[in-house]
A and B are shown apart, each in its own frame.
Chain A
């Protein structure tokens, strides 16, 4: 069964064994406003934690999305190519960005759980 973890950069990571699905949080999509473009990496690319993996562009800003964990990109969400607004409509679901195969599951320990992330977001307002 899968668990969802978070980062202070407002990404979510859904973990299932040694694979992970990554996207931006509800809070992030709300702050960005209407998403008009998502630049995604090529599948097969190896990334280290903290590397820039995607750029999300809204009518207000363009922001980088950093890899919350290390590993290899196995799949990117091609739906976002034609329908970037999916990120606004369903940030935690259909609006995912990339899937990765993890190279170091120990890194997951550093991520926030739901309660810790919600507390972090509450502290921002």
Chain B
């Protein structure tokens, strides 16, 4: 097939139609400071080996997660992914057929999607789960839209300790659904009074558990308060490993649970692609976004799988569809399913306990450093410390000593000066006793 590029006439016609004078005008939303007027001065040609050397030299300026003691979390977590996972997802039966266009003949794909849904429902303590969203944040925004459809109300109350990236995605989508958002201030110690903000106009309460700073809370009182006002409780879980130890949101009154599944099966991947989890109570199933796989019997009475409730989806219901999510993170969700299957119920719980124990050990060691205060009284594998110096400098100096020490809270809340001295720190099963000792001693040096 020949590739026929557009002619100048074609381009002018298209620009004329949308009222732009030239191609550059299409980029006017990009801030001037981020644009470059001249072309980057690249050599005309280089040998492959030379390019490799040049790029390796550039890459070596990074401090990769796997190269040093690593304690960064805040929504993306470094866990050990067994080699089996990568081996299995790369089988061509899975790798090349990630979205089943003629679903019923792809029984293997449908079966793992069904098992994925079952796992997500079990982890979250909910009755029904879909076959994945793009990531936790888009799942969160879809949950707010779903609450709007169910309650016919528009005011979403967001916890101030919700991950700011999640909040931003909710803001983005709710603008088009004309939802009103009631945004909270970041309360760092898990004592946010979100109940006071729930009223008769509230469609949903969105709360993250463990929250951005790491606090684990009992959500039942919040669920009760929301339900008393005919509002839904949406629980966000950014670290799915936590559900191996923390009470599932479904047992604390959640109506919708959304989560980021990256921790199971998926490496950090520079921030994506990840896999969004979405679960709800059975009575809301028809208002759920995304794909649902169901179990059935064929004409001979044999167990089989089908995509079900498709009439909610955009290819049938067009603009009335519950969501415009079209494809999803199929391969990432397969990795999730395989990793969790390998762990099993017991292994998953044990791994969660190791995560928690590691974080507690680290918190104790850092707490012993002069001037350091633990801000989060109850946590899973992530907690927040207050340091006597600006967190930006502390983290930079730790990095100079070969420790990636965490995320400064003010990075997510620019301009919020009361967060300037806070560092959010995660410790998973990948951290060793030596890593923790190295962190504590480096922090001591940085602060002395």
Contacts and interface: CB of A to CB of B under 8 A. Distances in A.
Interface of A: 37, 39, 57-62, 64
A61 B311 contact: yes
A58 B316 CA distance: 11
9 cross-chain pairs, A with B, having the tightest CB-CB distances, nearest first: A62-B311, A57-B311, A62-B317, A61-B311, A61-B316, A62-B312, A37-B286, A39-B286, A62-B316
Nearest to B322: A62
Interface in B290-324: 311-312, 316-317, 320
Interface residues of B, number: 6
B320 A58 contact: no
Contacts of A60: 311, 316
A54 to B, nearest CB: 13
Interface of B: 286, 311-312, 316-317, 320
Nearest to A42: B152
Contacts of A37: 286
A91 to B, nearest CB: 19
Contacts of A58: 311
A57 B308 CA distance: 12
A67 to B, nearest CB: 16
A59 B312 CA distance: 11
B320 to A, nearest CB: 7
Indicate the member of A57, A58, A60, A64 with the most B CB atoms within 10 Å: A57
Nearest to A64: B320
Majority secondary structure of chain A interface residues (helix, strand, loop or mixed): strand
Nearest to B311: A62
Contacts, number: 17
Contacts of A57: 286, 311
A88 to B, nearest CB: 16
B24 to A, nearest CB: 44
A57 B320 CA distance: 13
Indicate the member of B311, B312, B316, B317 with the most A CB atoms within 10 Å: B311
Contacts of A64: 320
A60 B316 CA distance: 8
5 contacts: A39-B286, A57-B286, A60-B311, A61-B311, A62-B320
A61 B317 contact: yes
A77 B154 CA distance: 28
Contacts of A39: 286
A57 B317 CA distance: 10
A59 B311 CA distance: 7
A95 to B, nearest CB: 19
Nearest to A37: B286
Contacts of B312: 62
Given A60-B311, A62-B312, 15 more contacts: A37-B286, A39-B286, A57-B286, A57-B311, A58-B311, A59-B311, A60-B316, A61-B311, A61-B316, A61-B317, A62-B311, A62-B316, A62-B317, A62-B320, A64-B320
A64 B317 CA distance: 10
Nearest to A58: B311
Nearest to B321: A62
B442 to A, nearest CB: 59
A59 B316 CA distance: 11
A123 B311 CA distance: 28
Nearest to A62: B311
A69 B312 CA distance: 27
A37 B287 CA distance: 13
Contacts of B317: 61-62
A14 B106 CA distance: 47
B445 to A, nearest CB: 64
A81 B320 CA distance: 22
A103 B124 CA distance: 47
Nearest to A52: B320
